C-alpha cells in the first residue's frame, strides 16, 4: 500500500541500474525464445524514447546487432537528423538515412494535407507552417475538440476549429508518416533478419498516442511499461547525450513545432505521469492535485479522460478479429 | 420538442449504436457510457450545426450542453431561441 501522504514526483524514481539489467535480461530472453531474430531495428527520431530504446538494445545485444534508421521528411525540424545521427554515432551502431519525403510525395501526403488545411484557411500557402492542437480538457470538461494553427511566412498565426471532415482528412493524411516509417523499418528488418523495436513509453502505450500499423506496430516494445520520467532516468544512467535528454518532447509530425502536451496529453509529461500513476494505484484526486499543482477538479477530469482514452485505445491495440475459430493457430 | 428529441435520439442510435438503443436513456452520459469519443464529439457537433442550422462555438462544447440527449435538448432550446 502506497503512503498517500508521501505521494510526489519522487514516487516514480526507480533504480535505473536494476531496471536496465532487468530489461536487458528480458530482451535477450524474448529474442532467443520468441522472436528468434538476429538483432533489432530501431527508428531514430532524435528524441528520448527512441534513443533509450536503442541504447537498451545495444546493451542487450551489442552495437553490431542493432540497426538505426533516420527517417526525416520535409516537415521534420532541422535538428531531428542531427540528433538522431548523434545517438547512432554515440552508440556506434550501423544506420541508414532514408528521407521519406519522396514516398510521402508519391502518396500525395503533402497535397492531401495542404488541401485539407486550405479548405478551412484558404490563404494557407506552400511556405506556411501548421500544426494541430487540442482544446484544454480541464476547460471543456472532457469535451475536447481540435484546431489547426497555421503560421504565415510573416509570422501571423491563424487558429480555426476543425470540423469532422477536415479533421479526419488531416489525421488520415498525417498517419502516412508513421506508416511509411514502419514500412521502412520492416524492410530493413527483413533484409537483416532482425526484429523491429517499438519506442512508446507508458503514457503513449496506455493512452493510444500512436498510429495503428504505424508507430504502434513492432515486435518488441522495451520501454512501454515505463513512465516518461522513468525513461529520462534510464537515459541518464545509459549516458544518452545530454542534448537529447534536454530536448523538449515534441511530436515532430507537423511543420509547426508541436509539443506532445498540445496534441494529446494536455499536460507536461511530469504532471501526466503523476496523474496516471496516482490513478493506477488508487490515490485520491486531491492528493494528486497537491503533488502536481493542479486543482482537484482538474485531476478529476484528467482521471476521467484517462479512462476514456483507454476505452478508445482498445481498438488500436486490437489484433485482427476472426468470426470463426482457427484452433490450429489459436490453441 | 418531442420531434427534436426524436431527431437527436435517432442520430445517436443510428450513428453511434448501429441501430441498437439498448442502454441509451435520455439522461445517459455519452462520454461515461462510451458512446462517443473525441471523434464522436466532432460528429455530434457537425450533426447539430447542420441539422438545426446553428453554429456551436468553442465555448459551448461542454458536457452540460452535449453529453446526453436531455442536455442537448436543453442547449438547443436556448440556442434556437437566441
The pLDDT tens digits of the residues spanning A192-228 come to 999 999 999 999 999 999 999 999 999 999 999 999 9
Category of A239 on φ-ψ map: left (φ > 0), alpha (ψ -120 to 50) or beta: left
CATH number at residue B45: 1.10.1200.10
Which of A127-131, B59-63, B78-82 is predicted least confidently? B78-82
- Secondary structure element (H or E) that encloses residue A79, with its range: helix A79-91
Q: Give the ipTM.
A: 0.87
Q: For A90-118, write each residue's pLDDT tens digit.
A: 999 999 999 999 999 999 999 999 999 99
CB pair distance less than 8 Å for A143 and B62: yes
Does the structure show a pLDDT above 70 at A4? no
Residue A147: closest CA among A157, A158, A133, A137: A133
Would an 8 Å CB–CB cutoff place B62 in contact with chain A?
Answer: yes
- Which of B31, B39, B58 has the CB atom closest to A142's CB atom? B31
Give residue A64's pLDDT. Answer: 98
Give residue A264's pLDDT. Answer: 65
| Domain range enclosing B56 | 2-18+30-81
Residue A148: closest CA among A138, A137, A158: A158
* Structural domain total, chain B: 1
CB pair distance less than 8 Å for B63 and A168: no
In the 8-state DSSP scheme, what is residue B59?
Answer: G
With 0.80 as the threshold, say if the pTM is over it.
yes
Q: How many CB atoms sit inside 10 A of residue A76's CB?
A: 21
CB pair distance less than 8 Å for A144 and B41: yes
CB pair distance less than 8 Å for A311 and B39: no
In a domain, B25, yes or no: no
Q: CA-CA distance, A233 to A240, in Å (whole number)?
A: 10
In a domain, B9, yes or no: yes
Domain ranges of chain A: 267-316
- Which of A140, A146, A312 has the CB atom closest to B62's CB atom? A140
Counting every residue, how long is chain B? Answer: 82
In a domain, B24, yes or no: no
Q: Is the dihedral of CA B28, B33, B35, B41 positive or negative?
A: positive
Q: How many CB atoms sit inside 10 A of residue A307's CB?
A: 13
Amino acid at each position: 500500500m502506497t503512503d498517500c501522504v508521501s505521494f510526489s514526483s519522487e514516487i516514480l524514481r526507480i533504480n535505473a541500474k536494476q531496471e536496465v539489467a532487468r530489461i536487458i535480461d528480458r530482451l535477450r530472453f524474448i529474442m532467443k525464445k520468441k522472436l528468434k531474430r538476429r538483432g533489432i531495428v530501431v527508428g531514430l527520431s532524435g528524441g528520448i524514447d527512441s534513443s533509450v530504446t536503442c541504447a537498451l538494445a545495444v546493451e542487450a545485444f551489442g552495437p553490431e546487432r542493432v540497426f538505426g534508421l533516420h527517417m526525416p521528411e520535409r516537415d521534420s525540424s532541422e535538428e531531428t537528423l542531427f540528433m538522431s545521427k548523434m545517438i547512432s554515432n554515440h552508440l556506434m551502431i550501423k544506420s541508414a538515412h532514408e528521407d521519406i519525403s519522396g514516398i510521402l510525395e508519391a502518396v500525395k501526403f503533402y497535397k492531401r494535407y495542404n488541401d485539407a488545411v486550405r479548405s478551412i484557411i484558404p490563404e494557407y500557402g506552400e511556405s506556411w507552417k501548421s500544426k494541430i492542437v487540442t482544446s484544454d480538457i480541464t476547460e471543456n470538461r472532457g469535451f475536447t475538440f481540435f484546431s489547426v494553427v497555421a503560421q504565415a511566412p510573416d509570422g501571423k498565426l491563424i487558429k480555426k476549429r476543425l470540423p469532422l471532415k477536415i479533421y479526419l482528412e488531416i489525421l488520415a493524411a498525417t498517419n502516412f508518416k508513421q506508416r511509411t516509417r514502419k514500412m521502412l523499418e520492416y524492410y530493413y528488418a527483413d533484409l537483416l533478419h532482425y526484429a523491429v523495436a517499438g519506442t512508446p513509453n507508458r503514457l503513449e502505450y496506455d493512452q493510444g498516442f500512436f498510429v495503428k500499423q504505424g508507430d504502434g506496430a513492432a515486435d518488441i516494445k522495451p520501454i512501454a511499461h515505463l513512465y516518461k520520467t522513468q525513461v529520462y532516468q534510464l537515459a541518464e544512467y545509459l549516458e544518452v547525450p545530454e542534448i537529447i535528454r534536454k530536448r523538449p518532447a515534441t511530436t515532430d509530425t507537423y511543420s509547426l513545432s508541436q509539443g506532445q502536451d498540445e496534441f494529446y496529453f494536455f499536460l507536461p509529461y511530469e504532471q501526466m505521469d503523476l496523474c496516471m500513476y496516482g490513478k493506477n494505484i488508487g490515490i485520491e484526486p486531491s492528493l494528486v492535485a497537491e503533488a502536481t499543482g493542479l486543482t482537484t477538479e482538474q485531476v478529476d477530469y484528467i482521471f476521467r479522460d484517462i479512462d476514456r482514452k483507454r476505452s478508445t485505445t482498445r481498438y488500436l491495440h486490437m489484433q485482427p478479429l476472426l468470426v470463426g475459430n482457427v484452433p490450429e493457430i489459436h490453441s | 420538442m418531442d420531434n427534436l428529441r426524436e431527431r437527436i435520439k435517432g442520430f445517436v442510435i443510428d450513428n453511434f449504436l448501429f441501430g441498437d438503443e439498448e442502454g441509451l436513456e435520455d439522461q445517459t452520459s455519452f462520454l461515461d457510457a462510451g458512446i462517443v469519443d473525441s471523434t464522436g464529439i466532432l460528429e455530434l457537433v457537425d450533426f447539430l450545426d447542420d441539422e438545426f442550422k446553428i453554429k456551436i462555438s468553442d465555448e459551448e462544447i461542454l458536457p452540460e450542453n452535449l453529453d446526453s440527449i436531455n442536455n442537448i435538448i436543453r442547449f438547443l432550446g436556448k440556442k434556437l431561441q437566441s
